[in-house]
Structure 1
Amino acid sequence: MELFDRLKQIIDETEDDVQKAEGGNKAAGTRVRKAMQEVKAAAQEIRKQILEIGKGGS
């Protein structure tokens, strides 16, 4: 599933910024928050696709 791969990619790319944000880097914190918005959107799309599969759709 392409969206699931994208979700994993976002998480992997954000790992360094999470560490920096924990150390007090405000810019890294901003990047993490933006990435989490992307994670939320990707997760919602995955959920929609799974529901469609469960309904027998595409």
Structure 2
Amino acid sequence: VLIKKGLRSGHLDRTAGIDPIQASMELIFAEPGVSSVVVGTLNPVHLRANVVVAESVLNQHG
């Protein structure tokens, strides 16, 4: 399964109280055929934050 632009290039809905990256990763990893996600960023702070969220979501689905 390939999901292109799973994080919508940073243009996500900013619903109050919901982390848009976590919501996106939860949706992505809810698909039975998905076991990984490739995240591209030029900002190392964003990359670290995305890894933390991905680990959290994977641990919940684990």
TM class by shorter-chain length? 0.3 to 0.5
Indicate the structure whose relative CO is greater, using CA pairs within 8 Å and at least 6 residues apart: 1
Structure number with the higher helix fraction is: 1
Determine which structure has more spread, i.e. the larger CA radius of gyration.
1
Q: Structure 1 length as normaliser, TM-score?
A: 0.39
Q: Structure 2 length as normaliser, TM-score?
A: 0.37
